[in-house]
Amino acid sequence: WENNVGLNQVVSDWHVLSWSAKWLDDPSTKVMYDDQRNAKNIEDDKRLLQGIWDLLNEADVVITQNGRSFDQKKLNARFVINNFQPPSSYKHIDTKLIAKRHFAFTSNKLEYMSDTLNVKYKKMKHDKFPGHEMWTECLKGNLDAWKEMEKYNKYDVLALEELYHKLIP
């Protein structure tokens, strides 16, 4: 959403804390994950971005939930800030856009759709660190928050994969 924050109010710019991904329907690969928990400077996300960039550069198709309007643009911004060339082109399938175009669910959020449609993987609720608290605790270096972040991210990928198969059988 649009933020009305003056540049003089910004203490530090945003950066990527973690990512998770999986090759679709490949039982030989586990959910991949990386984060900044051991970074000397948590705001320097170049190493983390390299992993994301490598996957995007290799992918023919990328499946996301709300990735067209959020993740893709945010990653593109961090890529250009960190002097990355754009990754190779790929087809982008966004389950939120599919849901909006072809269905009339009560909500097009991953939480609602995975709770309603998925059998095995529902979007995980925050356990110990609700809402924004998980991110603020990760920024403070709280190892328990980082562990929850990893579990949360990986579960989102599994819920998205199952949801994709429900929307596009």
pLDDT in tens, 15-26: 999 999 999 988
Reported confidence tier of residue 1, pLDDT bands at 50, 70, 90: low
| AA identity, residue 70 | F
90, 60 Cβ separation under 8 angstroms = yes
Between CA 109 and CA 55 the distance in angstroms is 25
The string of pLDDT tens digits covering residues 56-108 is: 999 999 999 999 999 999 999 999 999 999 999 999 999 999 999 999 999 99
Mean residue pLDDT of the chain comes to: 94
